[in-house]
Amino acid sequence: MSDLVTRLRRHNWRITPQRRVIAETLEGSHVHFTADEILERACERMPELSRATVYNTLNEMVALGEVLELAFDGRSKRYDPNADHAHHHLICEGCGLMKDVHAVGDPIEWLPGDERHGFAVTRAAITYRGRCPDCQDAA
């Protein structure tokens, strides 16, 4: 049912009931939740679930490379279950709405060798910002 659960199991990671609920909550949504939003929604299915377990589990899924941690606003991190599928993010400066978007090409190729300062560059993420249709009308 949950593809994220399948991917997690491949790491020989024990799928406990708590972890399954958290993974399915993450994957079942099309917005990127904060840890507390995941806790709130997961608790509808498993009321005794603790905050510490949600934080632990999310951090472990990030460490396994199956979930991306997004930190755009400096307030709270958000979690993106599509770690395998290259995409970027478009954020509304008015209301904070976030969309996944796909750009043409690979940003790493746009960084010249003499701008790399000897780094081994492995990833690149683009954050687009603007105003969504609703917030353009409101302005």
Residue numbers of the site for DNA (CB under 7 A)?
13-14, 16-19, 34-36, 46, 48-53, 55-57, 59, 74-77
| Cβ neighbourhood burial of 101 (10 Å; 0-12, 13-18, 19+) | exposed
CB 78 within 8 A of CB 95: no
Binding partner of residue 133 among DNA, a copy of itself, none, CB cut-off 5 to 8 Å per kind = a copy of itself
Judged by CB under 8 A, does residue 118 bind a copy of itself? yes
Query: Which three-class secondary structure state does DSSP give residue 13?
Result: coil
- C-alpha pair distances (Å), 9 with each of 48, 56, 63, 128: 24, 17, 14, 33
Window 52 to 81, contacts with a copy of itself (CB under 8 A): 69, 71-74, 76-77
Kindly tell me which residue out of 63, 95, 103, 138 binds a copy of itself, with binding defined by CB under 8 A.
Answer: 103
Closest CA to 69 of 21, 31, 34: 34
Interface residue list for a copy of itself (CB under 8 A)? 69, 71-74, 76-77, 88, 90, 92-93, 99, 101-105, 107-108, 110-112, 115-133, 136
